[in-house]
Amino acid sequence: MTVKCPRILSIAGSDSGGGAGIQGDIKTITMLGGHAMTAITAITAQNTIGVQSVHRVPTEMILAQIESVVSDIGVDAVKIGMIGSAEAARAVADCLDKLGIPIVFDPVMVATSGSELADGETIAAFGRLMDVASVVTPNLPELAALGGKDEILRHGCHLVVKGGHGEGSVIVDELYAPGGLIRRIEGKRLDSSETHGTGCTFASALAVGLGSGLDLNAAFEQAISFTRIAIIEAPGLGAGSGPLGHQFVTDFQDDNR
């Protein structure tokens, strides 16, 4: 018997500590009932304290991974995280442009630990990825580095502005269409330092929702709920900013925490 589940391709870097990147994406996609596939853009030596080393995967190998899964298994939605280089950003955008499926782009620049994951040339090439993305999901520092809301929306994509880096006891997450604000969700700020991989988790959860056929509004709400509970359920691993508790998220449809 063939069981229909959303086929989600994560194009991102590998996090050896298991909290973010490819590993965080696989956990999120699996817990939400999707089939996770990967195109690894970089291999990192990384833990909860920082990123000790990065080995970037050649562009042709990234493209080969994408072609391999697209040609056989098929893809219902794509999540893009750490991209590795400007050359890879442009090539991946060209490759995905013809697929006609939801694409979630999380413009990763800096790890939760503070380690840089994208240089200036790569960030400058993010515009090409925003051209093909359905929705872009920056945190507040990333939003500023990309020129603000209007600059991102001019690419014709939707935009989620994540409020986790803001101040105060309330986090505000906002969803924008090219024409302006369409949804605003407020939630109490969680008192936790176990937040390694929150951006990856949110973007992957959003991709699963879209790949499952949810509209963007419903997928946005589901992704926020899943991410919040994963933070609450974090197992407390490592000496720094620890990974989320993806494996403990079982019921997120009615989250009032």
Three-class SS of residue 14? strand
pLDDT number for residue 164? 75
Tell me the pLDDT tens digit for each residue of 227-252: 999 999 999 999 999 999 999 998 76
Q: Say whether pLDDT at 2 is over 70.
A: no
Judge whether 198 counts as a catalytic residue: yes
Tell me the pLDDT tens digit for each residue of 120-171: 888 888 999 999 999 999 999 899 989 999 999 999 999 999 987 767 789 9
Q: Which residue among the candidates 21, 199, 242, 245 is catalytic per the annotation? A: 199
Instruction: Write down the domain spans for the chain.
Output: 7-245
Q: Which residue among the candidates 137, 195, 201, 227 is catalytic per the annotation? A: 195
Q: Which residue among the candidates 21, 41, 200, 209 is catalytic per the annotation? A: 200
Residue 8 main-chain phi, psi, to 5 deg? -115, 125
Bridge-partner residues for 15, per DSSP?
Answer: 44
Architecture of domain 7-245: 3-Layer(aba) Sandwich (3.40)
Judge whether 30 counts as a catalytic residue: no
Q: Which residue among the candidates 18, 24, 197, 211 is catalytic per the annotation? A: 197
Judge whether 197 counts as a catalytic residue: yes
Judge whether 200 counts as a catalytic residue: yes
Dihedral sign, Cα of residue 204, residue 208, residue 214, residue 218: negative
Distance from C-alpha of 190 to C-alpha of 186, rounded to nearest angstrom? 12
Tell me the pLDDT tens digit for each residue of 164-216: 776 778 999 999 999 999 999 999 999 898 999 999 999 999 999 999 999 99
Distance from C-alpha of 207 to C-alpha of 80, rounded to nearest angstrom? 10
